[in-house]
Each structure stands twice: as C-alpha cells, then as structure tokens.
Amino acid sequence: MHRIGEKTTELLGVDLRSLAAFRIGAAGVLLLDLWFRGQEITAYFTDAGVLPRTARIGILEAGDGFGFQHTWSLHLLCGEYWAQLGLLLLAALFAVWLLIGYRTRLAAVVSWILLMSLDGRNPVLLNSGDVLLRSMLLWSLFLPLGARFSIDAWRAGKRVQIPTRVISTASVALLLQLCMMYWFSTVFKMKSLGDIPSPWTSDYSAVYYSLNCDAYATRFGLWLRQFPTLMQLLTGCSLWWEMIGPLLAFSPWFTKWFRGGVVAVFAAFHIGLGLCLTIGLFPAICIVSWLVFLPGEFWDHITRRAGDVSPLITRLARSIRGLTSPARRWFNQPEVPSFRRRWYIEAGLACLLVYVVLWNIRETDFRYWAPRLLSRNMNAPARILGLDQNWSMFAPLPRTEDGWLVMEGTLRDGSIVNLWQFDEPLPWSKPSLVSATYRTQRWRKYLDNLTTDRYAAHRMYFCEWLARRWNEQRAASDKTREVHKVELSHRIELTPPPGAPIPDPETRVLWTWYFE
C-alpha cells in the first residue's frame, strides 16, 4: 500500500519546484502579454478604439450562442485611456510579485482576476493560448505557488515544514487541464465533416493546409510547405504525438524518464510551431504549462550542477525589505505557504473538474448524447470562471480559404488612401509575406476574426476607428483630407490540394461605411 501511495503521489502530484517554475514562467508570460497589449491600449480597450463599451455590452447581451454572455470585465467601468493604463500597470505590479513570489497567494489571485478582466474587455483578440493560461492559473490558485523559489518561502523560514510534492484535487486538475487541450484537439482532428474526410487522417495534408494560411505562415513555414512528403510526415507525427504524449506523462513505469522526455519533446514541438506560424505567445504558454510535469529528479540534478538558489533569493528578499521600510509592519507579516486540504474545497474542485471534462466532451459535438451530459443552460460557471474552452485548433478541417485585408479610404477631396499603412499603396496584389503586414499577433487574430460571419457585427466599429485614426493623424484642421468613406475588403485566396495551381484571389467587400 505504501508503494501504491508513493506512485499515486508521483503520478497525480506536482513537485513544488516544478510548481514554482510554472509560477515564474506564467508571471513572465503575463508581463510579456501586458507589454504587447499595452502598446495598443487606445485601439483595444478604450471607447475611442475598435470596441467601445456600449458596443461590447450590446454584444455581451446578444446571447450565449455568441459565447460572451456571463463574461465580465473591470475594464468596462471606464473607457478612458488613463483608466485602462492604470489597470494594466496594476496587473504588471502583481505579475512582478508573482514572479518573485512576494505575497504569492494575493498576487496570483489578483493576476488571475485582472487577466480575466482584460480578456473579457475585448474577446475578439483572444486565441487558445489565452484560454489555456487563465485555466491553468485558476487551478494553480489552490496550490502552494510560493512554497519554493520565492520571497514568501524565505520569509517563512523554518516555521513551515515544506514537503517535496503536493497532491490534491487542484494538482490533478492542473495536470489534466493541459492534457485535455491535446486530447480533445485530437478528437476534433479525427472527425469528418459529413462526406468530407479529415485531412489529418485521410491524406495527411493538414499541415500543408495550415502552412498555406498566409496570415499566420512565417518565411520558414512558407519554405517548409514546398516539401509535400515532409508535410504528410509532420501531420501524422503531430496528430499521434498529441494523443500519446500526454498519456506517456502518466506512465506508472519509468515515470521520471517518460515525464522528462515528454516535457522536452513538447517544448521542441511548440518551438517548431512558433517557427512555422506566427501564433503569438501560444508556444510559450504551452511550454510554461508543461513545467508542472517536470519530475523532482530534474531539479535534484540541476541543484547538484548549478547549486542552491537560496542565497540569491535571500539577497532579493533583503533588498525588497529595504525598499519597503515605510511599510515594514505589513512586510513583516509573512504569507506562509499553506498545505492544508479542506474537504469542501476539494469537493468543489472535483465537481468543477468533472464540469470542465463534460464541457469539453460537449464541445466536440457528439450530437446524440453530449448535450444531455451538460445543458447549455449551465454555461454560466464556465463563462464566469474563464473555463469555457474549445480546442478545435486547425480542426476538424484546416482553413482552405485565407487571404488579406484591404482597408481603403476615400477622402472628401476624392483621394484614395490606405487606412492601415498610411504611406503604403493599397495591397490589392498579394504581399510577399502576408503575416508581416500585421503589427502584432493580437491585430492578426482580431482582423482574421473580422473576416468570419460570426464577428460581422465588429466590422462597423473597426471602420469607424480607421476613419477616426486617419482624421486625427493626417487630416488635422483640413476638412478636405478627412475620410468620407471606408471600404473593408477581403482578398480571398483558396488553397488548392497539394500539387494543384493556386487560383487567382477574389475580392469580397466586408463592410462599407460613410462618415458624415
């Protein structure tokens, strides 16, 4: 029985050093995300941007079929630049606290709240990495994030007996959350749409179609897609590794070796994705999430080779104490890492984990029995907690239709201008690298969403923002140089089967807007 208990702890528990590495990595990702979003505060989050609060609230009330009902955001309280900047700076402050493990529990809770609020303000900017990050952060709130590699652990000193690993419902949920992303993504990829077989399992052309999505393909991805046999090999390897890899992480035999290998291969896998596709922080979020699977033996080896980091943390803690001398009383009340497991919290987390599993099963759209498992009337908890997830990434069919946007402005004097890149000609011909025409990954996701019917309601606000931006920066007091008309067009390029010639692009007008 003792060996069974040890093996259960090894499989379902988390080494506290791995948990600390996840905390540090997640805090780093949060800071990077805040930096990237902060460069476009006015456009993304203010009333003068692409989604004013009135429009956001109207869309939120449109119904749960759109996916935003029951979501919330503190950023909706004020639409001014100073308020949005203040919330981003506050989020950065607590992300730094989380990074160094200072008042870790408070820092983690506030960081999660502000991340949820930021995501809820403009959901059109989000991708699957954002869903994974906020879900992993939520489960980690119920684990001792500050037990190792932290200011809190140093301040607690010898008052707390710190174990090597922690096992609880939260640790199980944290591990399974990451695995569910791959498993349910595999389910989506293996499905067929009616009579159309899945390119993931029929002719293994899915990676070819994915790399032909010019809005995301990098120069390396464009070069790689010219090798059809390699594309088929990568498709098969990606599909089966996403299914088998997480299973190997729970192998009861040679657990430490399997886990170390799985973490290394998934890290390489996501680095490869990032080299081929411009998908923002998604690879970094996935790699950081895999850190919770690192076995304790990895850290023992690192300690033997690199030494203990305790002296470094001690010096950092003393520096912070010196900087916070006016608030010494508050600083001297250490946040002690807690290892208590309260039955009602464990029961609540277990129910929530079952709920998330049922949610994912329902999202795969097994028509006959999945809706009976979880009614759509029970969507509110997932929306409120940020656990609403769908892992249909490049599945069941990768996109065979992509292209680029043309943002044409007609001025009052009759001039035609490019409202996206002011000094460049309108891109009616295909740019040499379409993915480079987007200023950030957030803009890429936002503009890509605008081309779909689901987000058609956002096109009007984007066109209004384009006109306002031109008028503020280029028209000044000259009324004849103001925008009179905005036409948003999508140059559509269909991806042919491997080996077939690429057809000429077609033009689809998404929105025409006149400025009074």
The secondary element (H helix, E strand) that includes residue 443 is helix 441-450
Instruction: Please determine, for residue 330, whether its predicted confidence score (pLDDT) is greater than 70.
Output: no
Instruction: Please determine, for residue 191, whether its predicted confidence score (pLDDT) is greater than 70.
Output: yes
Residue of 81 and 6 predicted with greater confidence: 81
Q: What is the pLDDT of residue 332?
A: 54
Q: What is the pLDDT of residue 291?
A: 98
Tokens of 287: 């790699």
**Using 50, 70 and 90 to split pLDDT, how confident is the model at 196?**
confident
Domain residue limits, the chain: 20-126, 127-399, 401-514
Comparing CA positions, the residue from 101, 141, 102 lying closest to residue 17 is 101
Instruction: Please determine, for residue 7, whether its predicted confidence score (pLDDT) is greater than 70.
Output: yes
How far apart are the C-alpha atoms of 23 and 18, rounded to whole Å? 9
How far apart are the C-alpha atoms of 383 and 377, rounded to whole Å? 12
Q: Which amino acid is at 294?
A: L
Instruction: Please determine, for residue 262, whether its predicted confidence score (pLDDT) is greater than 90.
Output: yes
In contact, 284 and 29? CB cutoff 8 Å: yes
Instruction: Please determine, for residue 326, whether its predicted confidence score (pLDDT) is greater than 70.
Output: no
In contact, 506 and 491? CB cutoff 8 Å: yes
**Using 50, 70 and 90 to split pLDDT, how confident is the model at 439?**
confident
- β-partners of residue 217 are 277
How far apart are the C-alpha atoms of 127 and 139, rounded to whole Å? 20
Instruction: Please determine, for residue 487, whether its predicted confidence score (pLDDT) is greater than 60.
Output: yes
Comparing CA positions, the residue from 280, 216, 220, 284 lying closest to residue 441 is 280
Question: What integer is the mean pLDDT of 395-423?
Answer: 91
Q: Percent of the chain scored above 70 by pLDDT?
A: 89
Tokens of 403: 């292209």
Q: What is the pLDDT of residue 322?
A: 55
Give me Rg for the CA atoms of the chain.
25
Instruction: Please determine, for residue 111, whether its predicted confidence score (pLDDT) is greater than 90.
Output: yes
**Using 50, 70 and 90 to split pLDDT, how confident is the model at 30?**
very high
Buried b (16+ CB within 10 A) or exposed e, 366-379: eeeebeeebeeeeb
Helix residue ranges, H only, 277-430 = 282-290, 296-306, 310-323, 328-331, 343-363, 370-373, 380-385
How far apart are the C-alpha atoms of 482 and 471, rounded to whole Å? 5
How far apart are the C-alpha atoms of 419 and 471, rounded to whole Å? 10
Instruction: Please determine, for residue 304, whether its predicted confidence score (pLDDT) is greater than 70.
Output: yes
Where is average pLDDT lowest: 8-22, 31-45, 367-381? Answer: 367-381
- β-partners of residue 514 are 485
Instruction: Please determine, for residue 370, whether its predicted confidence score (pLDDT) is greater than 60.
Output: no
Question: What integer is the mean pLDDT of 354-361?
Answer: 94
Helix, coil or strand: residue 109: helix
In this structure, what are the phi and psi dihedrals at residue 488, rounded to the nearest 5 degrees? -100, 115
In contact, 164 and 16? CB cutoff 8 Å: yes
**Using 50, 70 and 90 to split pLDDT, how confident is the model at 364?**
confident
Question: What integer is the mean pLDDT of 450-470?
Answer: 94
- Give pLDDT tens digits for 267-301: 999 999 999 999 999 999 999 999 999 999 999 88
Q: Give the number of other CB atoms < 10 A from CB of residue 33.
A: 23
